[in-house]
């Protein structure tokens, strides 16, 4: 019983960490984007203000059961996947390390890939019930793009699985600890392919086809406000954190303490962000087929490299 | 014993002569007498079959001259099997057509039944006789009655069909005679057993030539490609039951003759290969032609021809299993094809042109007939658990035992074609909307009985094939045992 | 006993058909009795054993028994059969040709059980063919496109069946026995050529039924054209007979061959391509039936790949998916049937927004779709996970990427399905729609809930699969690949399903309650017309339904692929053959003179080639 209680407390701690880091990153990105655009931009804590405002607002309308369940599914996906990603190197020496062990030994990468999709489906269902055509259009775009980046992503992961004969994230971290080489150097092609996929996952320009403000009136979220939008926003922040941490765990040796984690994830995060700032949006089919060109090539190269 | 084999020939022949005379006394007797005759012959055939099973073949000597000089009839397991089959078919055709022409006058009915009797006489004669010239005579009897039956409707088309038949038939007769002459001039005998025992003495070239002439001559009657041009027309233009009689009686008898020549009389090693080649040709061309037909009876006719091709291939395998399969296919064909002809002719009864498209949606109007047609179609393409499956299986087993992998593949490919055209028709019957305003004709009571009997037999053979395989096995053994045949005929003496 | 069961099925089929003619209600009753009674007898009385019944026909021994493998498949057949028989009563009410439907339904259940109990090839083939023609009657039951769809189905089935027939007569001629066990045990005694030929022929035979590319083209049409009550059987159970055969061929035959691994790799890739291509085609469909039909083909592709890879984990995955696919696809087809029954259409473009009208149907569809997409915690995930692990560990890295791609793309059609029927704008046109009757919703919900249970407690099924696999010669998998509800792989990777489920439930409940109760009073329901489209409130008459070209951007992305349809090649081939046939038919000119010439030429040819014929 006590064990479970500790687990739950640890999970809450992880969630809060992910929430804060994700929100802050979001605010910082807004600031950076603004500066690049030669605007002043909001303060970096603007996202917290937004979230607080949404949380405290009354929500006037809903469109039915799925409208409630959609955001809940979204949360399930981000929180549960958070539980399975090692935030810090397991068995590390920082005093708070054991807080973040969560359920990392209970699942592997393939499981994680699938549970991460759960949210998209939930989001899609919630958006679907609102009846707003823009939402549905956004959803179909999002799902299409997912099919696109999944290929290089899986190719990259498969190549690593092949090299180290494991699908467990913890094992990947351990391998990097033992050999002292980050996997991004051990198999650079996998890293490149993975990076492309990461760009797709983050939906920044040129892959911001889901929200596409000018076209779709922010797409799937357009019918949501108040508690719904708050949940979605929190989930999005947590999810960003999950993706970044996962990437750091696999390719960049994991993090032994929170400072390292923040440095690594932030650096990584800047790649899609900065690339996004200077790119224009793709058409949906371009966004999909983009991943079937160079990213696919690098993915195949990664597998080839792993085999040889 | 209720009688001797000669009655199979004598009684129907006598009946054929008596029918007009009896008809003068009582008109209905024209319809009844053939039935009585056929029923008696059926009883006779079955009892003789039983006798043969226990006591060996019956050799009957006609006119007191012992073979090889005199003419003899051979009733063994093989010929007995075919005779039973022929009589049975005759009986069904009679029953089916008993009221078939009740609305037409006495005159056509009389002709019809006389010709039917002649047909039975000739066919049983072909099967039973042990003399080559006698065989020729019976073939002529059969053919002539078949010509007349083809032209029964006395229309332009039937006359044309009949004329084609006559033309090809006379060509065949000529060749048959030349072949017989060749044999007689070489061996000085025409008794089958005697010829068979002396055939090695014959000049090889003349032997081959006479065999070829036999093949071509009998091939015309047995509907072998490319000699079967007359057949589709004849089937299509003759009345429904006559089509059934052709498929069930005439072709069987003619094929018997061909097989007798190949297996017993001649000792040519290449003959079996020839059978396979022409059998395959016949099968493939006929099935391929069938799929492109738009008239029901024509389609069934081509399908018949195809089946005969298959039988020939089975005989061509040349093993006991092959013969077994061939006879099994013949039996199934003799049951299923009449079922299809009978039910099919009711389905297109009111249609002028007898197009396949005229049976759209018949399943609603004539459920029983349609069901039986579907049963026949399922059975003949060899879907289990119906009759056709077992014969197809035994054929394939026999072929596989002889490593004929390519032939199996070809035949199965052709079977797919067969499935396509039968299923197209069945689909039309049950799953199409009725487009023409034509009504269905209610089958007569007799027709119901006949079709039900056939349907039940199809199911029976399907579920319990062993009820018939014993006879077929005995028949196959008897055909295969050439020395036994020669010996039993040549040592037969006048009782 | 077994014979009696089959006879009850057969007699029941005929009685039902006749009973239906007398009184519809009597027909319904007889139908239920003649499915459920023998099915129950089968489950209760037929235990795994080698020879349970034996008959001799035509000198061939027909031996019936139940192997553990067949037992596994028979669970699917019996389960689906009973569920769908209950469902069918309501589904078929008021439709045409109900009698024929019942007849074919019962017969195909009988045939499938017959296939499974057959221990010799002849009874196997007989039941196989009965299954073919009874399902054929179903395919053409609605009378639409009978000559194209029906014939296509039958031709492919016949192609498969005759390949099998050819294989089995060759087996008999070489080994002198039709027994399955003799075939597998004495496989080495076949000649080398036949050792290749026979597996290939049998693979064609079973590949047709399990809809492996390029033998799949009959399937989408046949599935979607048959009545929905039967389509579930079609896709859930009937196609699994093909899988059953594939298992026998691949595990028991090709493992004895030097070239077997090559054959297996080819089949595995075909399965992978089937999965990917069928998924893409499913995405482009605008009709729920067709979508599910393609999706079935795709799922069968996974199963085939798993079987072909044949490692213990892959086999476990494939067998698990066999059962699970039957469950969720059965439930989905039933849902579509319910929608068809209640609204009269299955087209996404016509019907929408049913979530509030048909909630039970929606929930079972949702569960099934989640299972279909392979998302934890439902059962689809278990098989996907095991399959991917197996493929990676067996070094089929490109294949695993292909399958990953397929299953990711499957989300698209999964969403299209749910959105198409249940979500989106609620049009007044469909305001009258009611939930389907209990006899339809309960079977579908039961099946969906079963996938839920199996998703966390797969050991309920693993035990059966384990004994089936041991029968096929595998080692016991319990403790190696799974213990209770924890999945393992040889590399030591694992997924603990129970913690996953609890975590998901906990998080889900927390946020669902939060979303529902926070400011509950203030939140009120509004219709889907009350939305903001770029700041404007749409008018009542404005149609905001988004259904046409739903996946257009994606379709554009995969356009080069969509242009290449295998079906076109087949159609071209078919047309060519028909033209050839027509040309051949013209040999029969109808002219007597020509026929006479044929006769003379034939005679002349024979005389000329006399020497080569007769020496």
A132/C503 touch (CB, cutoff 8 Å), yes or no: no
- pLDDT tens figures, B115-144: 888 898 999 999 988 888 889 999 999 999
- Residue of C21, C169, C195, C587 to mutate when probing chain B, most B C-beta within 10 A: C169
Across the interface, of C392, C416, C503, the residue whose CB is closest to A161 is: C392
Give pLDDT, residue C269: 92
- Say if residues C124 and C70 touch (Cβ distance below 8 Å): no
Instruction: Report in angstroms the alpha-carbon separations of C448 from C330, C365, C452.
Output: 9, 8, 7
pLDDT average, residue stretch B257-265: 87
Q: Which pLDDT value is given to residue A1?
A: 61
Looking at residue A37, its pLDDT comes to: 84
Average pLDDT value for chain B: 85
> Touching check for A13 and chain C: CB below 8 Å?
no
Pairing state between β C49-57 and B72-75? unpaired
Q: What is the pLDDT of residue C566?
A: 79
pLDDT bracket for residue C574 (50, 70, 90): confident
Distances in Å between the Cα of B220 and the Cα atoms of B165, B179, B446, C597, C598 are 9, 15, 33, 13, 11
pLDDT for C106 beyond 70: yes
pLDDT digits (tens, 9 = 90+) for A247-306: 888 888 888 888 888 888 888 888 888 888 888 788 888 888 888 888 888 888 888 888
Q: pLDDT tens digit string along C482-494? A: 888 888 887 878 8
The residue of chain C nearest to residue A234, with distances taken between CA atoms, is: C511
A167 at interface of C, judged by CB pairs closer than 8 A: yes
Residue C536 has a pLDDT of: 67
Q: Chain C: give the shortest CA distance to residue B270, in Å.
A: 5
Range name among B28-32, B64-68, C134-138, C308-312 with the lowest pLDDT average = B64-68
- Please state the domain extents for chain B: 269-463
- Please report, for chain B, how many H helices and E strands are present, in that order: 21, 2
pLDDT digits (tens, 9 = 90+) for C267-285: 999 999 999 999 989 988 8
Residue A212 has pLDDT above 70, yes or no: no
Which residue, chain included where needed, has tokens 């005697």?
Answer: B194
Q: Does C610 touch chain B (CB under 8 A)?
A: yes
Please state the φ and ψ torsions of residue C486, each to the nearest 5 degrees.
-110, 130
Q: What is the pLDDT at residue C324?
A: 92
- pLDDT, residue A213, reads 67
Average pLDDT over residues C82-90: 89
Q: What percent of chain B has pLDDT over 70?
A: 96
**pLDDT at residue B314 greater than cutoff 60:** yes
CB C373 within 8 A of CB C380: yes
Is A284 near chain C, with CB under 8 Å? yes
Q: Provide the pLDDT for residue C263.
A: 87
Average the pLDDT over each of A222-226, B35-39, C324-328, C459-463 and give the range with the smallest value.
A222-226
Alpha-carbon distance C459 to B380, whole Å? Answer: 49
pTM: 0.91
Taking residues A192-202, what's their average pLDDT? Answer: 87
For the residues A201-211, what does the mean pLDDT come to?
77
Q: What is the mean pLDDT of chain C?
A: 86
| pLDDT score recorded for residue C446 | 92
* Chain C residues with beta carbon closer than 8 angstroms to that of B376: none
| Mean pLDDT score, B280-297 | 87
Q: Give me the mean pLDDT over the C466-479 stretch.
A: 84
Per-residue pLDDT band for C615 (boundaries 50, 70, 90) equals: low
Distance, in Å, from the CA atom of C237 to the CA atom of C39, rounded to the nearest integer, reads: 14
Question: Which residues in chain B have their CB less than 8 angstroms from residue C169's CB?
Answer: 393, 396-397, 399-400, 408
pLDDT-derived band of residue C581, with 50, 70 and 90 as boundaries? confident
Chain B touches chain A, with at least 3 Cβ pairs below 8 Å, answer no
Q: Cβ of C59 and B291 within 8 Å? A: no
- Within 374-403 of C, beta carbons closer than 8 Å to A belong to 374-376, 381, 384-385, 388-389, 392, 395, 397-398, 400-401
pLDDT digits (tens, 9 = 90+) for C317-348: 999 999 999 999 999 999 999 998 888 888 88
Give C109-119 pLDDT, tens digit per residue: 999 999 999 88
CB of C423 within 8 Å of a chain B CB? The answer is no
Alpha helices in C423-458 (DSSP H): 438-456
Residue B323 C-alpha, separation from nearest chain C C-alpha, in angstroms:
15
The predicted model gives A54-60 an average pLDDT of: 81
Query: What pLDDT does residue A179 have?
Result: 85
- Listed range (A119-123, C201-205, C229-233) with the worst mean pLDDT: A119-123
- State the pLDDT at residue C128: 92
What pLDDT score was predicted for residue C244? 92
C14-40: per-residue pLDDT in tens? 888 888 888 888 888 888 888 888 888
Would the CB atoms of B416 and C162 count as touching at under 8 Å?
yes
Residue B347, phi then psi, degrees to nearest 5: -65, -30
Question: CB contact, 8 Å: C602 with chain B?
Answer: yes
C143 Cβ neighbours under 8 A, 6+ residues apart: B431, B432, B433
Q: Does C608 touch chain B (CB under 8 A)?
A: no
Which residues in chain A (52-71) have CB-CB distances under 8 A to chain C? 58-66, 68-69, 71
Kindly report, residue by residue over B41-84, the tens digit of the pLDDT. 888 888 888 888 888 888 888 766 766 777 888 888 888 888 99
Which residue has 């041009």 as its token pair?
A: B229
Residue C172 touches partner B, C-beta closer than 8 Å: yes
Q: Which of C512, C514, C553 sits opposite A141 (nearest CB)?
A: C553
Per-residue model confidence as pLDDT tens digits over B405-439: 888 899 898 888 898 889 888 888 888 887 777 77
Mean pLDDT value of segment A216-241? 82
Chain C contact present for A7, CB below 8 A: no
Residues 69 through 98 of chain A touching chain C, CB cutoff 8 Å: 69, 71-73, 75-76, 79-80, 83
Q: Which pLDDT does position B100 carry in this prediction?
A: 58
User: Between B108 and A172, whose confidence is greater?
Assistant: A172
A169 contacts chain C (CB < 8 A):
no
Tens-place pLDDT, residues B154-171: 778 888 888 888 888 888
Distances (CA, A) of A169 to A85, A164, B361, C160, C498: 7, 11, 66, 46, 20
Under the banding of pLDDT at 50, 70 and 90, the label for residue C470 is confident
- Please state the rounded mean pLDDT for residues A64-79: 86
Q: What is the pLDDT of residue C449?
A: 92
**Residues from chain A contacting residue C514 (CB–CB below 8 Å):** 227, 231
Q: What pLDDT, in 10s, does the model give residues C498-556?
A: 888 888 888 888 888 888 888 777 777 777 777 765 566 777 777 777 877 788 888 88
Cβ–Cβ gap C610/B403 under 8 Å = no
Chain A contact partners (≥3 CB pairs within 8 A): C
Which residues in chain C are contacts of B430 at CB distance < 8 A? 100
Using an 8 Å CB-CB cutoff, list chain C residues near B288: 580-581, 584-585
Nearest residue on chain C to A155, alpha-carbon basis: C401
Least confident segment among B433-442, C216-225, C408-417:
B433-442
Size of interface A-C (CB pairs under 8 A): 244
The predicted structure's pLDDT at residue B138: 92
Are A195 and A294 within 8 A, CB to CB? no
Share of chain A above pLDDT 70, in %: 96
Q: Between chains, do B424 and C154 touch, taking CB under 8 Å as contact? A: no
pLDDT value of position B105: 67
């Amino acid at each position: 019983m006590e064990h479970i209680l500790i687990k739950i407390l640890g999970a809450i701690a992880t969630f809060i960490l992910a929430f804060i880091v994700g929100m802050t990153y979001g605010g910082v990105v807004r600031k950076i984007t603004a500066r690049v655009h030669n605007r002043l931009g909001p303060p970096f804590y603007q996202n917290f203000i937004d979230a607080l405002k949404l949380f405290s607002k009354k929500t006037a309308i809903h469109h039915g059961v799925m409208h409630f369940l959609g955001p809940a599914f979204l949360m399930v996906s981000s929180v549960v996947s958070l539980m399975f990603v090692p935030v810090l190197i397991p068995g590390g020496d920082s005093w708070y390390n054991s807080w973040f062990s969560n359920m990392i030994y209970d699942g592997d990468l393939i499981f994680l890939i699938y549970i991460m999709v759960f949210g998209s489906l939930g989001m899609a269902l919630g958006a679907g019930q609102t009846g707003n055509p823009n939402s549905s259009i956004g959803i179909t775009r999002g799902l299409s793009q997912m099919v696109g980046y999944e290929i290089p992503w899986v190719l990259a992961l498969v190549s690593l699985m092949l090299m180290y004969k494991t699908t467990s994230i913890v094992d990947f971290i351990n391998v990097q600890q033992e050999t002292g080489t980050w996997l991004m150097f051990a198999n650079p092609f996998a890293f490149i392919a993975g990076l492309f996929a990461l760009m797709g996952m983050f939906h920044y320009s040129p892959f911001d086809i889901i929200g596409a403000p000018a076209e779709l009136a922010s797409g799937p979220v357009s019918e949501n406000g108040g508690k719904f939008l708050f949940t979605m926003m929190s989930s999005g922040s947590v999810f960003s954190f999950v993706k970044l941490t996962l990437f750091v765990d696999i390719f960049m040796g994991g993090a032994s303490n929170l400072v390292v984690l923040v440095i690594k994830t932030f650096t990584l995060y800047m790649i899609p962000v900065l690339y996004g700032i200077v790119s224009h949006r793709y058409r949906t089919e371009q966004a999909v087929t983009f991943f079937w060109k160079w990213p696919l090539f690098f993915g195949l190269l990664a597998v080839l490299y792993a085999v040889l | 014993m209720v009688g001797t084999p000669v009655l199979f020939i004598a009684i129907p022949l006598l009946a054929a002569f008596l029918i007009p005379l009896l008809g003068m006394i009582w008109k209905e007797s024209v319809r009844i007498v053939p039935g009585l005759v056929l029923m008696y012959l059926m009883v006779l055939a079955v009892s003789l079959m039983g006798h043969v099973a226990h006591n060996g073949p019956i050799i009957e000597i006609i006119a007191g001259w012992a073979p090889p000089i005199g003419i003899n009839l051979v009733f063994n397991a093989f010929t007995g099997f075919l005779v039973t089959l022929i009589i049975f078919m005759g009986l069904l055709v009679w029953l089916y057509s008993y009221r078939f022409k009740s609305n037409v006058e006495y005159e056509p009915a009389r002709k019809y039944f006389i010709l039917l009797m002649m047909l039975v006489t000739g066919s049983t004669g072909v099967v039973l006789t042990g003399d080559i010239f006698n065989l020729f005579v019976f073939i002529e009897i059969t053919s002539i009655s078949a010509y007349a039956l083809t032209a029964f409707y006395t229309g332009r088309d039937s006359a044309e069909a009949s004329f084609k038949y006559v033309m090809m038939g006379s060509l065949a007769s000529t060749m048959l005679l030349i072949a017989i002459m060749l044999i007689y001039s070489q061996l000085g005998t025409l008794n089958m057993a005697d010829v068979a025992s002396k055939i090695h003495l014959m000049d090889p070239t003349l032997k081959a030539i006479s065999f070829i002439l036999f093949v071509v001559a009998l091939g015309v009657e047995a509907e072998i490609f490319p000699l079967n041009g007359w057949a589709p027309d004849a089937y299509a233009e003759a009345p429904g039951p006559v089509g059934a009689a052709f498929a069930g009686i005439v072709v069987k008898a003619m094929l018997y003759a061909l097989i007798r020549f190949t297996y017993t009389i001649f000792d040519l090693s290449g003959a079996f290969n020839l059978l396979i080649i022409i059998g395959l040709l016949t099968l493939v061309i006929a099935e391929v032609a069938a799929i492109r037909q738009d008239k029901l009876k024509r389609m069934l006719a081509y399908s018949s021809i195809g089946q005969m091709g298959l039988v020939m291939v089975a005989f061509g395998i040349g093993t006991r299993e092959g013969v077994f399969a061939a006879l099994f296919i013949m039996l199934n064909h003799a049951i299923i094809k009449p079922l299809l002809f009978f039910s099919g002719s009711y389905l297109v009864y009111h249609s002028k042109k007898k197009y396949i498209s005229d049976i759209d949606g018949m399943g609603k109007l004539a459920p029983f007939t349609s069901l039986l047609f579907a049963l026949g179609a399922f059975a003949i393409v060899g879907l289990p658990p119906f009759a056709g499956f077992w014969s197809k299986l035994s054929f394939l087993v026999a072929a596989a035992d002889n490593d004929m992998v390519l032939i199996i593949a070809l035949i199965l490919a052709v079977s797919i074609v067969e499935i396509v055209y039968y299923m197209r028709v069945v689909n039309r019957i049950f799953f199409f909307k009725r487009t023409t305003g034509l009504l269905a004709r209610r089958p007569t009571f007799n027709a119901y009985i006949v079709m039900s009997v056939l349907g039940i037999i199809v199911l029976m053979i399907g579920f319990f094939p062993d009820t018939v395989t014993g006879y077929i096995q005995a028949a196959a053994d008897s055909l295969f045992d050439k020395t036994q045949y020669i010996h039993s005929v040549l040592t037969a003496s006048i009782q | 006993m077994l014979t009696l069961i089959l006879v009850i099925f057969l007699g029941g089929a005929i009685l039902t058909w006749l009973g239906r003619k007398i009184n519809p209600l009597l027909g319904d009753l007889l139908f239920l009795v003649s499915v459920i009674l023998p099915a129950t007898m089968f489950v209760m009385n037929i235990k795994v054993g080698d020879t349970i019944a034996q008959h001799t026909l035509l000198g061939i021994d027909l031996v019936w028994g139940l192997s553990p493998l067949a037992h596994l498949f028979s669970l699917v057949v019996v389960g689906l059969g009973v569920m769908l028989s209950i469902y069918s009563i309501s589904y078929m009410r008021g439709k045409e040709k109900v009698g024929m439907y019942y007849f074919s339904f019962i017969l195909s259940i009988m045939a499938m059980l017959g296939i499974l109990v057959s221990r010799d090839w002849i009874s196997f083939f007989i039941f196989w063919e009965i299954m073919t023609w009874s399902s054929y009657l179903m395919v053409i039951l609605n009378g639409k496109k009978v000559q194209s769809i029906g014939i296509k189905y039958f031709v492919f089935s016949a192609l498969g069946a005759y390949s099998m027939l050819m294989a089995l007569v060759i087996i008999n001629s070489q080994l002198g026995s039709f027994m399955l066990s003799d075939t597998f045990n004495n496989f080495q005694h076949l000649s080398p050529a036949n050792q290749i030929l026979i597996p290939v022929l049998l693979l064609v035979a079973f590949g047709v039924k399990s809809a492996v590319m390029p033998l799949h083209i009959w399937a989408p049409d046949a599935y979607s054209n048959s009545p929905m009550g039967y389509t579930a059987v079609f896709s859930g159970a009937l196609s699994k007979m093909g899988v059953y055969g594939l298992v026998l061929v691949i595990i028991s035959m090709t493992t004895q061959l030097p070239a077997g691994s090559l054959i297996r790799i080819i089949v595995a890739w075909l399965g992978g391509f089937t999965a990917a291509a069928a998924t893409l085609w499913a995405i482009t469909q605008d009709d729920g039936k067709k979508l599910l039909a393609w999706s079935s083909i795709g799922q069968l592709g996974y199963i085939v790949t798993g079987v072909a890879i044949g490692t213990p984990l892959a086999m476990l995955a494939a067998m698990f998916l066999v059962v699970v696919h039957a469950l969720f696809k059965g439930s989905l087809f039933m849902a579509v049937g319910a929608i068809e029954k209640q609204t009269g259409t299955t087209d996404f473009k016509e019907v929408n927004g049913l979530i509030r009208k048909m909630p039970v149907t929606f929930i079972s569809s949702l569960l099934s779709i989640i299972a279909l997409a392979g998302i934890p915690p439902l059962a689809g995930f278990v098989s996907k996970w095991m399959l991917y692990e197996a493929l990676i560990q067996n070094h089929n890295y490109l294949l695993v990427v292909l399958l990953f791609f397929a299953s990711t793309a499957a989300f698209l059609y999964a969403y299209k399905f749910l959105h198409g029927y249940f979500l989106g704008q609620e049009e007044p046109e469909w305001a009258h729609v009611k939930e389907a009757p209990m006899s339809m919703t309960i079977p579908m919900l039961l099946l969906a809930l079963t996938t839920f249970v199996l998703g966390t407690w797969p050991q309920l099924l693993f035990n059966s699969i384990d004994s089936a696999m041991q029968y096929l010669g595998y080692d016991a998998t319990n403790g190696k690949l799974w213990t209770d509800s924890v999945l393992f792989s040889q590399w030591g990777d694992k997924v603990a399903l129970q913690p996953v489920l609890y975590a998901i439930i906990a998080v889900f409940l927390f946020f669902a309650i939060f979303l529902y109760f926070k400011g509950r009073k203030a939140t009120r329901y509004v219709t889907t017309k009350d939305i903001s489209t770029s700041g404007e409130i749409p008018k009542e008459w404005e149609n905001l339904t988004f259904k046409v070209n739903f996946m257009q951007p994606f379709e554009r992305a995969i356009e080069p692929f969509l242009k290449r349809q295998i079906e076109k090649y087949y159609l071209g081939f078919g047309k060519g053959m028909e033209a050839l046939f027509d040309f051949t038919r013209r040999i029969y000119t109808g002219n007597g003179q020509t026929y006479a010439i044929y006769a003379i030429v034939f005679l002349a040819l024979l005389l000329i080639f006399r020497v080569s014929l007769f020496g």
